[in-house]
Amino acid sequence: MSWTPQSSAVTNHALQCVAENTIFFAPPPAEIGTVLTADSSLKTTTKAKTLPVRVSLALLGFAGVSSVLLLLLSRSPLHNIIDLTPLAIFPGACAGIAVLWVTRFSHLTTYVGTLGVAQIRLSGSLSASPSTSTLLFAEASHLFTKAVITTVNGVYSGTMYRYRWADEKGRTRLHLVGSHNAKNGVPRSGDQWHFATSSERAWTAWLKSDANPRRENSLTEFPVAWSRQKIRINGTTIQFMRGAALRGTIEIDNLLELYIEHGSVYFIPRGGGRRFWQRRYVFPHMYIGNARLLLDRLAENGVRICSRSS
């Protein structure tokens, strides 16, 4: 049973109008609440390749790779001593299998709602039964995010990202991992990165809402994973905790700036001196639970947040 957005307020995950040729091959689960954004990799122009066509392409890939490698290996001095054919056959077989995998019929419909998110996959054919996985925000307590920019000889080559929702016991409830090659940080519409960021926006809004039964705790405590440390906002004071012990405090009005550099978050008080405070209140961004909410809360209190590349 397909689904059609009933309101123009529903956009794709990149906050653009949903393309008219998008096919939502399954409706969103009711438990994720009102749909905010939605997208699907299945389009009206999508044509599934038949098995004979896929096998033919796989054989071409096998023959092409094996032939090129056999030609190269025939020039090796070892060719007259040992049979190097298996060294060409194995990569060719891998190429053939890769072609079969790439040309398979597999599409994903994703929904972001006010109460959770859903991923619905359809594999094999249009008549197959889709499989659904959901995350209800009430099942999780913290979101940990990570982005790694890779370069080769100083030239940008890609960005790898990870979004992991965990419950109070640290168990993973949803894990979104991927990569893109958008140098400006924003990949094209349809990239799964947009699903991850849209999910983060909805999650952060839910944490602030009355629908969150742990709202007060979510707005004040931000644990640091793999440690006993915690960042706590207590009124107008930022407290840095280690277990039950108070490690230090900074008044929000006395926080000169908060900046992010090389994947770490630095808290700099007025008159404290950058080098001194680097040694005391520095946390890896990827380990701070609900880091987006923490930054939003500080920004709402007038804290200047900067991102530095050097």
At the topology level of CATH, where does 30-46+106-208 sit?
PH-domain like (2.30.29)
Chain centroid, CA 255 distance in Å: 30
b (16+ CB within 10 A) / e for 49-69: eeeeebeebbeebbeebbeeb
At 54-106, the pLDDT tens digits run: 678 778 887 888 888 778 777 777 666 666 677 778 887 887 788 766 767 68
pTM of the model: 0.82
Q: Which two tokens stand for residue 226?
A: 């793999």
At the topology level of CATH, where does 215-308 sit?
PH-domain like (2.30.29)
Comparing 123 with 195, the larger pLDDT belongs to 195
pLDDT value, residue 199: 98
Least confident segment among 190-199, 246-255, 265-274:
265-274
Given the structure tokens 């991992």, which residue do they identify? 177
At 205-235, the pLDDT tens digits run: 999 999 999 999 899 999 999 888 999 999 8
Q: How many CA atoms lie within 13 A of 264 on its CB side?
A: 11
Fill in the amino acid letter for 10.
Answer: V
Query: What gap in Å lies between CA 142 and CA 222, rounded to an integer?
Result: 8
- Start-end ranges of CATH 2.30.29.30 in the chain? 215-308
Query: What gap in Å lies between CA 138 and CA 118, rounded to an integer?
Result: 14
